[in-house]
A and B are shown apart, each in its own frame.
Chain A
Amino acid sequence: MSVTTVSSPALAQRQPNWLVRLFDYKPFLIVMCLAPAIGLLSVFLTYPLGLGIWLAFTDTTIGRRGVFVGLENFQYLLTDPLWWNAVFYSVVYTGIATFGKFALGFWLALLLNNHFPFKSILRAIILLPWIVPTVLSALAFWWIYDPQFSIISYLLVDVLHWRSGNVDFLGSPWPARFSLIAANIWRGIPFVAISLLAGLQTISPSLYEAAMLDGASAWQRFRYITFPMMMPILAIVMTFSIIFTFTDFQLVYAITRGGPVNSTHLLATLAFQRGIAGGELGEGAAIAVSMIPFLIFATLFSYFGLARRKWQQGEAND
């Protein structure tokens, strides 16, 4: 049907116009179609990536072209306790937050996979923390973590009488670190839950029924059906989550700006502090480049997750 509607104007325009013929020439068309995307990505992504690696080996500051200084920036970083601190906290932050997000997100996905009324509304509500600008919800967390007027302190002290004094969320290193991790988990749960829910819905119910006939318990069904079937999607979602948690910037910058006494700096916030706020572009770039090995590790993780999916699809076809 649609073919007939197309054919008449197409025939009408079929004069030997050189422009039309040029755009019908496949190699030319391919180049034209790819040009905007590839152009944008190479100017604003590939080139800066290379430039960043180059900057890491120079002593550039804002307003002054640097000279090549070899590994000096990295040697300095290795002796810098603040950098080690940031590496340590980045790893702790990523580790605990990812674990929390996936444990709670998987649980939420399993809950949402049940039948109950108003399911689609609930699913919509749950995604809200992920949709709202992170900085703005981080501000809400900052206010929730206020030393004097924290609503959590109020609940614990005046309502439940569990504590005698207010909780000092952001005043000392470890509580501040865990407060940030909690905010990150809060923000990450929806994404994990909704992605995993999509994966759960692709698992055929007949698998569970077969297992139930064979007498498998609820735990066994989860362990031997749900979990293996979810492995590929878990691997992909986890890679994304690890990459974007490790390079997180907004939450920390909005809530603590790296304080108290620089204990909550992630590598990204440290790079910003040194590179943009402090003007030491070379050193900031070196800090940013020092994140790359970790990211490569996470990407390889993703690759093997994908490879495994292909293998599983092959199995299913037999």
Chain B
Amino acid sequence: MTDTVAQSSAVADAKAAPDTMAWDSGLRRLMMIYLPLGCFVLILLFPFYWMAITSFKPNAELMNYKDHNPFWISSPTLAHIKHLLFDTAYPRWLKTTMLVAIGSTTLSLIASTLAAYAIERLRFRGSPYVGLGIYLAYLVPPSILFIPLATVVVQFGLFDSPLALVLVYPTFLVPFCTWLLIGYFKSIPYELEECALVDGATRLQILRRITLPLAVPGLISAGIFSFTLSWNEFIYALAFIQSGANKTVPVAILTELVTGDVYQWGALMAGSLLGSLPVAIFYSLFVDYYVSSLTGAVKE
């Protein structure tokens, strides 16, 4: 009895949701929400601001806080970026990183689409266990794998070759993508496939013409996420690549640009900025897919 009363008033309240905020005075809202939010954004973004501003500062300003306000640039310069692009192998590192990221993303997308389709749609005895096994693979961190993997890579004759990274990165990409795609495949009505089966389509035709087109948002999510993860990967690239020319951007900046006792902060920060830019641009184009894949992977 009281339940129904509560329910009906709850419905009424839901309609008037913005009005319930009326008891919040503006000041209270400012102190409780906007001020802490402002602090969070400031702290979360400050390192990027600092990175960006350092990469355009001439060395004289970098090392002199007395005469120049460190939070601003008096005479911006492109010297650090020029040094990076023309005096180091930076363009080559960028190219290697890009190729490795694209290669491993493609490989893991193909592998995980097929696996997710088999687990979710072909349904065989033990398919939940295969799914669970792939999920468990996600929980194995690279830090406990890189030493034995280094010996495996040497055995395959792939040491110091970017191809090793293309083959190894799917170990953490496939579990993630498979789980994401299983979630997407689940949301596609099974009836569509049954209709196609009745009409005489083969399983592969169903996958190609019905399931995949409907799962495109999931494929995009998995793809951009894999790209970002492979772009950011560090420990395998550090352990398996020796020669300076074959390194990926994150490893190369840390091992090739940090030289001697006097760090060239301008060049280091310019390298970090340029290395972050591709993923940041990519991210700004596909923000919603990132958020959905991040939260989707957690919820599944």
A→B interface (CB under 8 Å):
2-3, 5-7, 9-11, 13-14, 20, 23-24, 26-27, 29-30, 32-34, 36-38, 40-41, 43-49, 51-52, 55, 60, 104, 107-108, 111-112, 114-116, 120, 122-129, 131-137, 139-141, 143-144, 146, 149, 151, 154, 158, 186, 189-191, 194-195, 197-198, 205-206, 209-210, 213, 233, 236-237, 239-240, 243-244, 247-250, 253-254, 267-268, 271-272, 275-276, 281, 284-285, 288-289, 291-292, 295, 299, 302
Given the known A-B contacts A140-B269, A194-B294, are A233 and B299 also in contact in the complex, defined by CB atoms under 8 Å?
Answer: yes
Given the known A-B contacts A6-B201, A7-B199, A244-B141, are A40 and B170 also in contact in the complex, defined by CB atoms under 8 Å?
Answer: yes
Q: Is B102 an interface residue (CB 8 A)?
A: no
Tally of A-B Cβ pairs under 8 angstroms: 324
Q: Is B13 an interface residue (CB 8 A)?
A: yes
A288 to B110 CA separation, bound complex (whole angstroms)? 31
- Tell me the chain B residues, 134-166 only, with Cβ under 8 Å from chain A: 134, 136-137, 139-152
* B147–A284 touching, CB < 8 Å: yes
Q: In the assembled complex, which residues on chain A have CB atoms less than 8 Å from the CB atom of B238?
A: 253, 272
How would you classify the secondary structure of chain A's contact residues: helix, strand, loop or mixed?
A: helix
* B200–A44 touching, CB < 8 Å: no
* A275–B147 touching, CB < 8 Å: yes
A51 to B45 CA separation, bound complex (whole angstroms)? 42
Contact with A along B116-145 (1 / 0, CB 8 A): 011100101000001000101101111111
Which residue of the partner chain A has the closest CB to B266? A143
A29 to B253 CA separation, bound complex (whole angstroms)? 45
Task: Specify which of A52, A112, A114 is in contact with B148 (CB 8 Å cutoff).
Answer: A52
Q: In the assembled complex, which residues on chain B have CB atoms less than 8 Å from the CB atom of A127?
A: 283, 287, 290-291, 294
- Most chain B C-beta atoms within 10 Å of own C-beta, residue among A9, A135, A149: A135
* B147–A205 touching, CB < 8 Å: no
Q: In the assembled complex, which residues on chain A have CB atoms less than 8 Å from the CB atom of B41?
A: 122, 125-126
Given the known A-B contacts A189-B44, A249-B234, are A135 and B253 also in contact in the complex, defined by CB atoms under 8 Å?
Answer: yes
Nearest CB in chain A: distance from B6 CB, A: 5
A137 to B54 CA separation, bound complex (whole angstroms)? 13
Q: In the assembled complex, which residues on chain A have CB atoms less than 8 Å from the CB atom of B249?
A: 133
* B199–A3 touching, CB < 8 Å: yes
Q: Is B246 an interface residue (CB 8 A)?
A: no
* A37–B33 touching, CB < 8 Å: no
Q: Choose, from B72-80, B81-89, B204-212, B215-223, the stretch at the interface.
A: B204-212
- Most chain A C-beta atoms within 10 Å of own C-beta, residue among B7, B122, B254: B254
B→A interface (CB under 8 Å):
6-7, 9-11, 13-14, 17-18, 21, 33-34, 36-37, 40-41, 43-45, 47-48, 50-51, 54, 62-63, 65, 70, 107-108, 110-112, 114-115, 117-119, 122, 124, 130, 134, 136-137, 139-152, 167-168, 170-171, 174-175, 178, 192, 195-196, 199-205, 209-210, 228, 231-232, 234-235, 238-239, 249-251, 253-254, 263, 265, 268-269, 271-272, 275-276, 279-280, 283-284, 287, 290-291, 294-295, 298-299
Given the known A-B contacts A24-B203, A26-B122, are A129 and B114 also in contact in the complex, defined by CB atoms under 8 Å?
Answer: no
* B272–A136 touching, CB < 8 Å: yes
Q: In the assembled complex, which residues on chain B have CB atoms less than 8 Å from the CB atom of A2?
A: 192, 209-210
Given the known A-B contacts A30-B122, A140-B51, are A271 and B147 also in contact in the complex, defined by CB atoms under 8 Å?
Answer: yes
